[in-house]
Structure 1
């Protein structure tokens, strides 16, 4: 019965824990239900974090991870992943950290080369789905395949190749 008010506060204001600490409003105080005094978002989150030490460690570690990923700092990410092994954090975040450690080489490649994306492949997939949707089902797979190759300009007829080569030479 003593923990019920704390439970209600956590249940009602859990979304504030998802906000980045820098995005929390520190200056504007307002009345929040379940609190007797006026609070800012920052002070409310600090109060919620004081309720449980594991919650506080999880919150800080999670947001440190997010900030390292946001600024593409691979050294900071490695340090946070190693440092978090000794901390008392929730099982869910431990599982996420194990996954990050497992795929760290791929994550570091993504951070090292931010200009490389899978956008062109997604565009091709989108074109194929559009053809499939508009065509009402091809009876012959080879006709469908050829249509995809023609539209994506992978296959060009010999006549068009000759015309293009003549235009490039001239």
Structure 2
């Protein structure tokens, strides 16, 4: 499992033991190939899975050094990619309103509700919300946010379909949603999700294996904190 530590370093972790194997000063492909070729052919050929981000370009490394390894797209970055692009759309739609309008304020304040799984949005507990001047559940607030923007509502429903397929570990349904994205959604948003078509082989492995870069992300976050 791999990740980046600093701008040019490379950290890799044993996905089973969560043990840091090494931290390399460079992530340049030639340097990585030279480093990993120090390991025996038997050891390198025994590597079965290689977890990496969708934007990481280690295909040649795997082909030359770990020929028996299967690429697994990092599940953390799949969810992150979905959330980031829905949030970008929220900001774009929010900015179509004036800053003193309620729609702007509500879309800015309650943005986290849009990123939650619909099944996790509370629809029973009422609380008083000053900005709405009434008692509402989180589900009711979410409905009001979506009423501010038809395109945001459409994108939200699309994302919820993806999340449902992901939660059910249904790869075929996940890719069906991707291939049948509503053409009325903004072109820039539709193109953002085309990356799932490019990396569908690695995404398939996410649905059938337990591996992720979660431990590597945690290590990176701790190290980033120490560097502050």
Asked if TM exceeds 0.5, the reply is yes
Per-residue deviation, 1:3 = 6.9
Give the SS at the match of 2:135: coil
Corresponding residue for 1:16?
Answer: 113
Aligned length: 118
Normalization by structure 2: what TM-score?
A: 0.46
Q: Which runs of 5 or more residues in structure 1 are unaligned?
A: 127-170
Greater helix fraction, Structure 1 or Structure 2: 1
Corresponding residue for 1:78?
Answer: 175
**Contact kept in structure 2, 1:55 and 1:90, CA below 8 Å:** no
Q: State which of 89, 103, 110 in structure 1 corresponds to 2:206.
A: 110
Give the SS at the match of 2:204: helix
Distance 1:63 1:4, change over 3 A: same
Query: Which structure has the larger Rg?
Result: 1
Q: State which of 62, 83, 99 in structure 1 corresponds to 2:195.
A: 99
Q: Which runs of 5 or more residues in structure 2 are unaligned?
A: 1-97, 220-228
For residues 51-90 of structure 1, the aligned pairs below 5 Å read: 51-89=148-186
Give the SS at the match of 2:109: helix
In the TM superposition, structure 1's runs of 4+ consecutive aligned residues that sit over 4 Å from their partners are none
Per-residue deviation, 1:10 = 0.8
Following the alignment from structure 1 to structure 2, what is the Cα–Cα distance between the partners of residues 62 and 89? Answer: 14
Distance 1:63 1:42, change over 3 A: same
1:6 matched to 2:103? The reply is yes
Higher relative contact order, structure no. (Cα contacts within 8 Å, ≥ 6 residues apart):
2
**Contact kept in structure 1, 2:99 and 2:105, CA below 8 Å:** no
